[in-house]
Amino acid sequence: MAKLNMLRVNRLPLIHYGVAVLASLLALLFRLLLEPILQGEAPLLLFILPVMVSAWYGGFKPGILATILSALVGSYFFIPPIFSFVPTDLADAIRCSIFLVEGILISALNESLRRSKQRSEATALSLKRSEEQSRLIIEGVQDYAIFMLGLDGRIVTWNDGAQGITGYGVGEILGRHLIILYPSSSQTSEAADHLKPQQELQIATTEGRFVSEDWQQRKDGSLFWASIVTTGLRDETRNLRGFSRITRDITERKQAEESLIRSAHRLEALHEIDRAILATEFGGEPIGTALDRVSQLVPCERAIATLFDFETNTAQILQEARSEGEANPEVVPLVFFLPERVFQQDLQQKVEYITAAQICPISLTRSLSAQGSCIRVPLVSDEILLGELTLFVTATTEWSDEYQDIVTEVANQLAIALRQSQLRNQIQQKADELEQRVIERTLKLQAANQELESFAYSISHDLRAPLRAIQGFAQAFLEDYGDRLDNLGQEYAQRIVTAAARLDTLIQDLLNYSRVSRTDLQLQRINLTAVVEDVLTQLGASLQEQQAQVIVEKPLLSVLGHRSTLVQIVSNLISNAAKFVPPERTPQIKIWTEMREDRVRLWVADNGIGIAPQHQDRIFQIFERLHGVEVYPGTGIGLAIVCKGVERMGGQMGLESQIGEGSQFWIELRRGT
């Protein structure tokens, strides 16, 4: 085949040149025939014809060939001298030259005419081919409906995709108005139905393009969600010729988007329920939030949470979504929700009964519309059936797995919230009981303490009278009858006097302690210099006896305190400082005050025996002593009085001590202003 074509191509110029030769010869023949008539006139005129024919048929080169051949035969046969190629006359020579120029021009013009014709033919062919391809592509597209509309909105082309998506065949759709693809509404008029497509075409006309997403209707009446692009088509002079419309069925994408939005809402709702449960105490808001949310996510007429009590066989309808004015939870018999035979069954059976129950709980049916059913989900936590979540759905509601999941999730959260609340209530109840018991016991203890203190006070007080009698009579006995007693008798009498004196000191100390504990202390500004001076005067005799040296860094600061209690405290500290000193050492006592923020600290330091660290806490307790009475006399009450007094004035106390090197006791009270 290729070879044949080659031959054809090769033979084509030969034919062209052959035609040039033949045409020239024919022209010669005609001219010879006409010669008797023309008589040598216009010798070359007829020869212009073979030139034109050859140039038209074969192009430039055959045209030139015909021109040369014609010029040669014309001058040979018809231009004098006859049978010679070279004209002798100048006019004939010019005639020949003009003929040659005309021939060349005709050949060149024909050649360019031929070429442009060939080009335009090639262009038209390729245009036709590309149009054909475009048409095939558009018609073959399956995923998109691509079609054209006339100016009046009627469909003029229809591709395979359009047929596949809408179900309309080419034959039945061409010439129909675009409105056929729009869902018709039973509620609106035909004019109103037309409005939408007309508006779209209007916008495509004014703005060039209209892009939208909308519901479209298939031939079988079903709907699909479409992405639509309508474009106004204009010719070179900008006149509107019609519209192209590309439609794609994106129902699946829309469904996926909607399901994504739904699951986002669902997550958000569940989070909100979680937050509500965490944020507030159970009994109101969390349940309200949960029920409101579930009724927003799941189409239902009512959503109700109920708590079961298997001890009293009652059910408490806790709260209902969108209920107005139902403040108090309603309590109804449990049989409204479960038949009596189920009460004693195990958890599994109860759960199965609720889940499978087709009928609504009795208490709810009265307020529900006639057609519909209840979805009942048990509320179970910690293997305990706490109640149920009831949703009333109408007969037309489509109940999907997704809805089932949502209700189950919410029910699980509610169950946890209910259980937590129950446990919290139990803990709270226990804590309340415990607190009540502590309060009662504290009150009893306080009463007993008070009783004990007043008892100790009255005993101590009452003991002093007989003790004085013992002391007085023993003294008198010794003075009046001492000379009649032998040494042993005198010693016995002396021991009675000493023991009575010790007992008196003890009772005195106990009374002081009791006074410090019981007196109502009115705090006021007390000058410590005056207090210390008073004490030193009181203790003057005994300090002198002990040869104690006392240094007071005056003036001492003032404190907020109770004067007589302070005198008692300072007296106890100074007398201890003078007392607990080794016999060979002269007691040296130093007293000073210092500011510590808004408090004043009073120091009493000695050079005594010191106190071992392990005993430093102990000695502030009543009757705690580190030595026998025979070594250092005392009752063990002095520091207990200091401790109680300081505590009652809102202060603190402590000590720094090293054994053998002395002790520094301090008390700290608020500054007296």
Contact flag: residue 625 with ligand ADP (CB under 6 A): yes
Question: Least distance from C-beta 531 to ligand ADP, angstroms?
Answer: 18
Q: How far is the CB of 582 from ligand ADP (least distance, A)?
A: 11
Restricted to residues 640-659, the positions that interact with ligand ADP (CB under 6 A) are: 640
Which of 364, 360, 363, 353 is CA-nearest to residue 375? 360
Q: Using alpha carbons only, what angle is made at residue 72 by residues 69 and 78, rounded to the nearest 5 degrees?
A: 125
Encoding tokens for residue 360? 């609504």
Region binding ligand ADP by CB under 6 A among candidate stretches 62-70, 245-253, 561-569, 636-644? 636-644
Strand partners, 250: none
Q: Does 611 bind ligand ADP (CB under 6 A)?
A: yes
Any contact of residue 391 with ligand ADP (CB under 6 A)? no
Residue with smaller CB distance to ligand ADP, 500 or 581: 581
Cis peptide before 81 (omega within 30 of 0): yes
Backbone φ and ψ for 487, nearest 5 degrees, come out as -60, -40
Cis ω before 555 (30° cut-off from 0): yes
Select the span of 242-250, 316-324, 443-451, 621-629 touching ligand ADP (CB under 6 A).
621-629
Q: Is the dihedral of CA 562, 568, 573, 574 positive or negative?
A: positive
Judged by beta carbon, residue 99 or residue 580, the one nearer ligand ADP is: 580
Q: Name the helix (H) or strand (E) containing 656.
A: strand 652-658
3-state secondary structure of 376: strand
Which of 24, 217, 517, 663 touches ligand ADP by CB under 6 A? 663
Tell me the window of 72-80, 281-289, 396-404, 617-625 that interacts with ligand ADP (CB under 6 A).
617-625
Q: Among the candidate windows 9-17, 270-278, 379-387, 618-626, which touches ligand ADP by CB under 6 A?
A: 618-626
Does 609 sit near ligand ADP (CB under 6 A)?
yes
Q: How many residues in the shown chain lie near ligand ADP by CB under 6 A?
A: 21
Question: Nearest distance from residue 456's CB to ligand ADP, in Å?
Answer: 17
Contact flag: residue 636 with ligand ADP (CB under 6 A): yes
Q: Should residue 608 be labelled a site residue for ligand ADP when binding is judged by CB under 6 A? A: yes
Residues between 162 and 191 that touch ligand ADP (CB under 6 A): none
Site for ligand ADP, residues 546 to 575, rule: CB under 6 A: 572
Q: Per CB under 6 A, does 273 bind ligand ADP?
A: no
Q: What does 225-268 look like in DSSP terms, one character per residue?
A: EEEEEEEEEE-TT--EEEEEEEEEE-HHHHHHHHHHHHHHHHHH
Task: Establish how many alpha carbons lie within 13 A of residue 214's alpha carbon, considering only the half-sphere containing its beta carbon.
Answer: 16
Q: Which residues contact 608 (CB under 8 A, 6 or more apart)?
A: 577, 579, 580, 581, 582, 585, 587, 662, 663
Out of 66, 226, 467, 577, the only residue in the binding site for ligand ADP (CB under 6 A) is: 577
- Please identify, using beta-carbon distances, which residue of 322 and 615 lies nearer to ligand ADP: 615
Establish if 638 lies at the interface with ligand ADP (CB under 6 A). Answer: yes
Q: In whole angstroms, give the CA distance from residue 315 to residue 337.
A: 8
In 3D space, the residue among 135, 157, 149, 147 whose CA is nearest the CA of residue 243 turns out to be 149
Interface with ligand ADP, residue 580, by CB under 6 A: yes
Q: Binder to ligand ADP among 11, 234, 495, 627 (CB under 6 A)?
A: 627
Binding of ligand ADP at residue 619 (CB under 6 A)?
yes
Q: Give CA–CA dist 471/454, Å, rounded.
A: 25
Contact 495, 642 (CB under 8 A): no
Q: What tokens appear for 638 in the block? A: 């002095």
Among 159, 576, 593, 607, which residue sits at the site for ligand ADP (rule: CB under 6 A)? 576
| CB closer to ligand ADP out of 233 and 622 | 622
Q: Which is nearer to ligand ADP, 363 or 588 (CB)?
A: 588
- Check: CB of residue 55 under 8 Å from CB of residue 47: no
Which residue's CB is nearer to ligand ADP, number 20 or number 640? Answer: 640
Residue 413 CB burial class (10 angstroms; 0-12, 13-18, ≥19): buried
Binding region for ligand ADP (CB under 6 A) out of 167-175, 268-276, 384-392, 638-646: 638-646
Cβ neighbours for 567, distance < 8 A, ≥ 6 positions apart: 531, 534, 535, 538
Query: Which of 634, 646, 651, 667 lies at the binding interface for ligand ADP (CB under 6 A)?
Result: 634
- Verify binding: residue 502, ligand ADP, rule CB under 6 A: no
Interface ranges with ligand ADP (CB under 6 A): 572, 576-577, 580, 606, 608-609, 611, 619, 624-627, 634-640, 663
